[in-house]
Amino acid sequence: MSLKSFSRGGVHPAEHKLSSGNAIQVLPPPEVVVIPVSQHLGAPSKVMVNRGDEVIVGQLIAQSEGFVSTNIHSSVSGKVLKVDNFSDSSGYRRMAVQIQVEGDQWIDTIDRSDDLVKNTVLTSEDIRKKILDAGIVGLGGATFPTHVKLMVPKGKKAEYLIVNGVECEPYLTSDHALMMEKSDELLAGIHLMMKGLGVEKAILGIENNKPDAIQKMQKMTEGTSVRVQGLKVKYPQGGEKQLVQALLKREVPSGGLPIDVGVVVFNVGTVYAAYDAVMKNRPLIDRIVTVTGKSLSNPSNFQVRIGTPVSYLVEKAGGLPEDTAKVINGGPMMGKALSSLDVPVVKGSSGILLIREQEARRKEVQPCIRCTRCVGVCPMGLEPYLLMTLAEKGMYERLEQEKVMDCIECGSCSYTCPSARPLLDYIRLGKAEVGKIMRTRKAV
Amino acid sequence: MSQIILFTIGTLVTIGAAAAIILYFVAQKFKVFEDPRIDEVEEALPAANCGGCGFPGCRNFAETLVKSDTWDGLFCPVGGNETMAKAAAILGKEAIEQAPRVAVIRCHGTPEFRPRFNEYDGTPTCVIIHNLYTGEGGCPHGCLGEGDCVVVCDFDAIHMDPVTDLPVVVDDKCTACGACVEACPRDIIELRKKNKKDRKIFVSCINEEKGAVAKKNCSVACIGCSKCFKVCPYEAITMNNNLAFIDSDKCKLCRKCVVECPTNAIHEILFPPRKTDKTEPVEAETKIGD
């Protein structure tokens, strides 16, 4: 089989998939969970419970506010301790519901059996409705509400469903574990999503460093309308625009979405969650999180309830090693360092990575030597050195002209820079400022 | 030989004269009238080009001064009333007097009061840290200590204190141009009325979180207890979102609130030491910056 890849830029960091091949371990709920009401892109949800209320697993605790927003369900059964502001992964305090766990009682409508349910009489509208109710968001990390993606805007037509099993971030293995263990459900989920979107063709893209997953999925999809495509290992292949380009040679226009070229992309985790939601009536109350690090005694793939504190996960994976200098929420390329271990796992948490002292330090920043390596590796064809300088000088109009908003924040530029310049830090700042300017312009 | 020289000189003089005549008429035809007073006013301005008036430079401000009938909201903070009076004299207009102001740092989260529980080793710029997370101390409103305000100051009036990790304003040099206020991503810096002998009383905290939360991160945070608000005889203190604010225009510097504050969040600066009589607690001595 020939391997494909996206054509522009990209890097290949060391993979370090320490927890690959480890089975998914289902963790029991912790003693206390904190469930933030803003775990997705879009408007924060409206809290539906009060202090002292008894809740059970799967009960709606925060309702979607607007079109781009989602429902949030209780991931445990117990008593609501507080509805207050709690520190999120950035340390800033945002609205969340704190629940004291008592027992593990689930809502009756949830089918908790492992039986595979394949055939459905549901229409695409029913599927979308169920996904909306279950609060499914993109589990690859961007947490964009899934029901919004399923609504193809008027005048556009979805032709392909692309399922993202790339997992290009080093260290992370949760999607790999999912494809190996839940492949039947995943396949059923893919067919559901195809029905929801009304498309005939689906492609599952998997990077070549997971040959077992490629083989397994290929065998299972033989004779169906789902095609499995192996991909060369290259970061950031899991970005939707890169994946569309790699699989179909279609270029998503600047500022556009994959639907502009007739494609909708979902992560394998999202598809699996959608299967659970539609076939088992199970809202998004847990997710698979990789807990990994070179000094960690048991790098693992955990299935944990949303709202579980990170410290609980680290403890279950063998405890915090002494030489840990940084704890990263996400992968090493796009993840952000945590300032506290008390923050909860949210819908977008794909991994917890512990980095050792000797690897954690940033190198000393040197002047730009105009080597243009950052330009060469940028998968969006931007000029990171220029964007950084413009952001530093506050030249936001020029920054907008240079298409700073196309940046997917993959960090390939910072990774490759021989002068260790903080390119992405400044580009992110520039994006934030340009975003503000664009919003005020829209409002006027 | 001399003929060639003479011929050359003659030709050049003729071309020069012809060009001068053409240029004279062109200049007459396309003359742009510029009010000579703009130059005069610009001369009177401090030529700092700091942007404190809200215009890109002194020249633009001078133009606006000449064109505007009323000078509402037009003020050069660097030159102050003196400069505005000079400009007014040139133009025969009336200057609106403004009380001189000075930048004040409304955070006192030194490592002693606001323990740092993590270490940041990324780009040393406040604005980037602010976009990333709450900072090395837990307070989401506190000073990040990387000195974005120092970098933008054109007058060398602000510098970082390596011990407290907080910026310090040199009152004599500060022109209240507002560059630091703009630069601070946490809006900690405020321009307040300048008092006699540079004395000032202000709440050195902008944390609007609930008292218990604020206090957990920083022992000198304003906890919104309203004690100062109750004791103030001049109604200069307002309470908003768990935070006290002292209006520098109404404050008469009586210092009653300073003693009242349970977390020492209200600072008095450059006051003589209090007479320690029995009713007043001893801790109410001059606190910082003196």
User: Which residue reads 């699989």 in tokens?
Assistant: A247
A267 and A390 together in one domain: no
pLDDT at A331 over 80: yes
In a domain, A160, yes or no: yes
CA angle A388, A390, A395 (to 5 degrees): 150
Say if A363 is an interface residue toward chain B (CB within 8 Å): no
A274 and A397 together in one domain: no
Say if B36 is an interface residue toward chain A (CB within 8 Å): no
Tokens of A356: 């050792």
User: Which residue reads 């900072």 in tokens?
Assistant: B135
A270 and A133 together in one domain: yes
CA angle B48, B49, B53 (to 5 degrees): 105
From B195, B172, B181, select the one nearest B51 (Cα to Cα): B181
DSSP letter for B197, please.
G
Instruction: List CB contacts (< 8 A) between A336 and chain B.
Output: 132-133
Tokens of B139: 């307070």
From A202, A199, A205, A197, select the one nearest A243 (Cα to Cα): A205
* Burial environment of residue A395 by CB neighbours within 10 A (0 to 12, 13 to 18, 19 or more): middle
Q: Check B128 against A426: CB less than 8 A apart.
A: yes
B172-B176-B178-B184 Cα dihedral, nearest 10 degrees: 40
The number of domains in chain A is 2
Cα dist from A406 to A5, A346, A399, whole Å? 20, 26, 11
Closest residue, chain A, to B208 (C-alpha) = A93
From the centroid of its chain, how far is CA B213? Answer: 30
B290 pLDDT band, cuts 50/70/90, is very low
Say if B241 is an interface residue toward chain A (CB within 8 Å): no
How are the residues of chain B apportioned to helix, strand and coil, as percentages rounded to the nearest 5? 35, 10, 55
pLDDT at B98 over 90: no
Assess contact for B256 and B266: CB atoms under 8 A: no
How many beta carbons lie within 10 A of that of residue B131, not counting itself?
16
In a domain, A13, yes or no: no
- The rounded mean pLDDT for chain A is 94
Instruction: List CB contacts (< 8 A) between A362 and chain B.
Output: 121-122
Condensed to tens digits (0 to 9), the pLDDT of residues B205-233 reads 999 999 999 999 999 999 999 999 999 99
The three state secondary structure string of chain A is CCCECCCCCCECCCCCCCCCCCCEEECCCCCEEEEECCCCCCCCCEECCCCCCEECECCEEEECCCCCCCCEECCCCEEEEEEEEEECCCCCEEEEEEEEECCCCECCCCCCCCCCCCCCCCCHHHHHHHHHHCCCECCCCCCCEHHHHHCCCCCCCCCEEEEEECCCCCCCCHHHHHHHHCHHHHHHHHHHHHHHHCCCEEEEEEECCCHHHHHHHHHHHCCCCEEEEEECCCECCCCHHHHHHHHHCCCCCCCCCHHHHCEEEEEHHHHHHHHHHHHHCCCCCEEEEEEEECCCCCCEEEEEECCCEHHHHHHHCCCCCCCEEEEEECCCCCCEECCCCCCECCCCCCEEEEEEHHHHCCCCCCCCCCCCHHHHHCCCCCCHHHHHHHHHHCCHHHHHHCCHHHCCCCCHHHHHCCCCCCHHHHHHHHHHHHHHHHHHHHHC
Say if B148 is an interface residue toward chain A (CB within 8 Å): no
Q: In the prediction, which pLDDT does A1 show? A: 64
pTM for the whole thing? 0.87
Condensed to tens digits (0 to 9), the pLDDT of residues A160-173 reads 999 999 999 999 99
Q: Check B128 against A91: CB less than 8 A apart.
A: no
Instruction: List CB contacts (< 8 A) between A388 and chain B.
Output: none
Q: Which of A280, A304, A338 is the last residue of a domain?
A: A280
- Domain map of chain B by residue range? 36-91, 101-269
Tell me the three state secondary structure of residue B256.
helix
Cβ-Cβ contacts under 8 Å for B255 (sequence gap 6 or more):
B201, B268, B271, B274
Nearest to A90 among B118, B123, B132 (CB): B132
Condensed to tens digits (0 to 9), the pLDDT of residues A332-371 reads 999 999 999 999 999 999 999 999 998 888 889 999 999 9
Q: Check B128 against A339: CB less than 8 A apart.
A: no
Distance (Å, whole) CA A3 – CA A212: 15
pLDDT at B289 over 60: no
Same fold for the pair B36-91 and B101-269? no
CA angle B124, B125, B129 (to 5 degrees): 95
Q: Which of A280, A297, A317 is the last residue of a domain?
A: A280
CATH architecture of the domain with range B36-91: Orthogonal Bundle (1.10)
Say if A339 is an interface residue toward chain B (CB within 8 Å): yes
pLDDT at B74 over 70: yes
Instruction: List CB contacts (< 8 A) between B142 and chain A.
Output: none
Helix or strand run (H / E) with residue B161: strand B158-161
User: Which residue reads 């340390």 in tokens?
Assistant: A91
Cα dist from A190 to A222, A229, A274, whole Å? 14, 15, 9
Helix or strand run (H / E) with residue B5: helix B2-29
Say if A358 is an interface residue toward chain B (CB within 8 Å): no
Say if B151 is an interface residue toward chain A (CB within 8 Å): no
pLDDT at A291 over 50: yes
Q: What is the CATH number of the domain that holds A134?
A: 3.40.50.11540
Q: What is the mean pLDDT of residues B132-159?
A: 93
A275 and A423 together in one domain: no
Say if B42 is an interface residue toward chain A (CB within 8 Å): no
pLDDT at B183 over 90: yes
Nearest to A91 among B127, B138, B209 (CB): B138
Q: Check B122 against A422: CB less than 8 A apart.
A: yes
Give B130 to chain A, closest Cα distance, Å.
10
Q: Which of A280, A307, A338 is the last residue of a domain?
A: A280
Distance (Å, whole) CA A352 – CA A339: 13
Nearest to A428 among B121, B131, B209 (CB): B131
Instruction: List CB contacts (< 8 A) between B209 and chain A.
Output: 85, 93
Condensed to tens digits (0 to 9), the pLDDT of residues A379-413 reads 999 999 999 999 999 999 999 999 999 999 999 99
pLDDT at A318 over 80: yes
Assess contact for A166 and A293: CB atoms under 8 A: no
In total, the C-beta contacts within 8 angstroms joining chain A to chain B are 45
Closest residue, chain B, to A394 (C-alpha) = B183
From B217, B200, B171, B187, select the one nearest B266 (Cα to Cα): B200
From B222, B154, B205, B199, select the one nearest B289 (Cα to Cα): B199
Q: Check B121 against A429: CB less than 8 A apart.
A: no
A149 and A266 together in one domain: yes
- B contact test, residue of A94, A429, A433, A436 with most B CBs within 10 A: A429
Q: Check A91 against B135: CB less than 8 A apart.
A: yes
Q: What is the mean pLDDT of residues B99-116?
A: 93
DSSP letter for B153, please.
-
Instruction: List CB contacts (< 8 A) between A426 and chain B.
Output: 123, 128
Give A126 to chain B, closest Cα distance, Å.
40
Q: What is the mean pLDDT of residues A171-188?
A: 95
CA angle A385, A391, A394 (to 5 degrees): 140
Assess contact for A241 and A252: CB atoms under 8 A: yes
In a domain, A379, yes or no: yes
Q: Which domain holds residue A170?
A: 124-280
In a domain, A250, yes or no: yes
A129 and A241 together in one domain: yes
Distance (Å, whole) CA B150 – CA B183: 9
Q: In the prediction, which pLDDT does B284 show? A: 44
Say if A91 is an interface residue toward chain B (CB within 8 Å): yes
In a domain, A103, yes or no: no
Distance (Å, whole) CA A79 – CA A76: 9
- A contact test, residue of B132, B139, B242 with most A CBs within 10 A: B132
Say if B118 is an interface residue toward chain A (CB within 8 Å): yes
Say if B134 is an interface residue toward chain A (CB within 8 Å): yes
Q: In the prediction, which pLDDT does A444 show? A: 80
B286 pLDDT band, cuts 50/70/90, is very low
Cis amide leading into A236 (omega within 30): yes
For domain B101-269, the CATH class is alpha beta
Q: In the prediction, which pLDDT does B73 show? A: 84
Q: In the prediction, which pLDDT does B276 show? A: 64
Nearest to B134 among A90, A362, A422 (CB): A90
**Residue B189, Ramachandran bin (φ over 0: left; ψ between -120 and 50: alpha; else beta):** beta
Say if A93 is an interface residue toward chain B (CB within 8 Å): yes
Nearest to B134 among A85, A92, A429 (CB): A92
B2 pLDDT band, cuts 50/70/90, is confident
Q: Check B132 against A422: CB less than 8 A apart.
A: no
**ipTM field:** 0.90
pLDDT at A251 over 70: yes
Condensed to tens digits (0 to 9), the pLDDT of residues A94-129 reads 999 999 999 999 999 999 988 888 877 889 899 999
